[in-house]
Structure 1
């Protein structure tokens, strides 16, 4: 079974424009993200848009030797479907590029669970019931099922949010498998990049604590030891589905 990681990236983010191209510790956040994903040993594809604003993302991925698929800016489902077709994936891991400290071992655990059953109707994620910090999110699903969703989904939210057709069980036969963290619920922490306050926290973690080399448990340990770090972005509300 050929499984690949597809990460979506664009420069036209609203709350923090071109956020993945900003830098910390001498690297763009996108490079941090891609470096972490490479540790899974799985092929990684950047799914970006045909918008000229995204040329820097294409160029950076090229410099790093990461393939790029370019598609619709708003119809992200069709973008993922195109990447799956082009790379002939039997299964896909969906992540987002605003997770520069995503833990490869966390993703790999989900992939192992998916491979163990390799069922066409299986959807595996660690955020169906969230226990990991934001920034560690992944979703894993069958390539053919995502292609079928692309063919059948008509709701604008399903086209924009890629996997809602699957995890909302529009077909009536999907089986959802949640992967909780054995350390308990630590979802209060935000290790994702969406706002200037998120950037302040991530920059501090990377430049002052060597976060680029740390796993999820190590990062949480730092946050627990330094509540002033958590205070930097604990007030941020995540955008809701459809916003």
Structure 2
């Protein structure tokens, strides 16, 4: 590592939203003192320089730097790029770690990792936000002074002089930009810890008060907010703001997206007081849509519409935040990105893919091969931790033999698997309950059943009753995961290729038994081979994979993002 490496801390008193913030106190220290004291713990920085402007109001920053024992450079107020270049040249700095002085909880270990990785991989610039992997406010950019010289010569637009590295990001094809290696235990990019206004200042004061000044670090802050999300919820009032859910649901796509969004919307409404509107894309109504209509304002449009028509329908609702929960056959990256141009957008997804530019993606698919979204800058939460199911009653007694079965293919059963499975079960001496929403289909099926088979309509209390069964026969939707959480073994029959990938992965873990559509006729034989040990394994693995806190996790992340973006 050759040449001087310095952290240059960008600071000024003239903030428009919070004037004089560098000198405002959080606990016993000013914002500037918090930043400097934490940067001083860096093991890779040879020098700390505070770069402020030559305006008289910043005299206090220079005096404070002298008291703190760090260098202070003063330059042009508006030409921040020039200020940084002159600062680096005056002090003989080769490598610059740029930090903004609105980050009281900047982590010295992050600064050190960024500097190390910059020297190891030698990009033009390395940062923490090109692909967000850390809370906002733990941010650093590392680059050589030679890059500043180059872009200073090329920059002609005012915004490229006002922002030190904006020219690089506006001309990405010319430069190598690398993201810092993520810290898995610090991955909460929707948490904002910068001080931009009075609400942020009070929020940071609350954190310091709760943790104590000596105990503040990012891991502890994340744990505090996970255990007490109301601290963040109270950061800013967003009641009355408008959130629109765009959801598919019906005989072709099932009701899983509708049920998922209804649960999430109910939690968000209760926590924040936002106005929730549903835009449902369906060619007919059903029991879940009627449930949504009783609770929220709802507009229904055809299941298949063009991207333009969908956008126009959304614009009529005047949303301030969008949540997209649609069948994967009804969208692609272009469609989602077009919406994200106009609104902060969160997408629920199950398949992965490239090119998404929304704000957040939530993917509950357990299969890691579906979690790849390329170089997207979206915040991504993936895996079974984010399965949004209600709290399920857990089965207590062990299963020695199968005496009671539940059959449920999401209620709507768009693939008509119910009829095929029931025809095979009617010869078995096993009590079987079958959930099927469509009354016409139930009436057609009823005359063909044995006395052991009971046809049921919608069961709102299924999470409480599922524990009473010894086996669930289902597809790859919510009921599969409810059974995992409740400790009920599962036979899963995929309804499409996306469910098939998910079910295959779960079977590989021992969480369920996969039966393909072609193998349905073998169900009686498969029952006979389900040993007590295999049933116990499915119970044990399923409960280890799925808990009932997924909705809480998802809602917390959504609300934190809303508070930042609305």
TM-score (norm 2): 0.40
Contact 1:211/1:219 (8 A) holds in 2:
no
Contact 1:7/1:47 (8 A) holds in 2:
yes
- Against the structure 1 CA distance between its residues 70 and 154, is the aligned structure 2 distance closer, same or farther, given a 3 Å change threshold? same
Give the equivalent residue in structure 2 for 1:30: 32
The 2-side partners of 1:24 and 1:124 are apart by: 30
The 1-side partners of 2:218 and 2:186 are apart by: 13
Out of 127, 130, 136, which is 2:129 matched to? 127
The 2-side partners of 1:16 and 1:142 are apart by: 31
SS in 1 for 2:9: strand
Structure whose alpha-carbon radius of gyration is higher: 2
Counterparts in 2 of 1:228-243, with a 5 A limit?
228-231=230-233, 232-233=235-236, 234=560, 235-237=563-565
The 2-side partners of 1:203 and 1:70 are apart by: 29
The 1-side partners of 2:22 and 2:565 are apart by: 19
Give the equivalent residue in structure 2 for 1:11: 13
Counterparts in 2 of 1:18-97, with a 5 A limit?
18-41=20-43, 42=45, 43-97=47-101
> Does residue 153 in structure 1 map to residue 155 in structure 2?
yes
Contact 1:166/1:174 (8 A) holds in 2:
yes
The 1-side partners of 2:153 and 2:49 are apart by: 21
Residue 122 (structure 1) shift = 2.0
Which deviates further from its counterpart, 209-218 or 34-43?
A: 209-218
Task: With a CA cutoff of 8 Å and minimum separation of 6, indicate the structure with the bigger relative contact order.
Answer: 1
Structure 2: give runs of 5+ residues left out of the alignment: 237-559
Give the equivalent residue in structure 2 for 1:190: 192
Give the equivalent residue in structure 1 for 2:393: none
The 2-side partners of 1:104 and 1:140 are apart by: 14
Residue 125 (structure 1) shift = 0.5
The 2-side partners of 1:8 and 1:184 are apart by: 24
The 1-side partners of 2:28 and 2:184 are apart by: 33
The 1-side partners of 2:186 and 2:50 are apart by: 31
| Alignment root-mean-square deviation, CA | 1.7
Contact 2:125/2:177 (8 A) holds in 1:
yes
Contact 1:101/1:212 (8 A) holds in 2:
no
Structure 1: give runs of 5+ residues left out of the alignment: 239-243
CA deviation digits over 1:98-127, x for unaligned, max 9?
A: 00110110111111101213x3x5210010
Residue 181 (structure 1) shift = 3.3
The 1-side partners of 2:33 and 2:174 are apart by: 38
Residue 151 (structure 1) shift = 2.3
Q: How many residues align?
A: 235
The 2-side partners of 1:198 and 1:44 are apart by: 25
TM-score (norm 1): 0.91
Residue 174 (structure 1) shift = 1.4
Contact 2:124/2:147 (8 A) holds in 1:
no
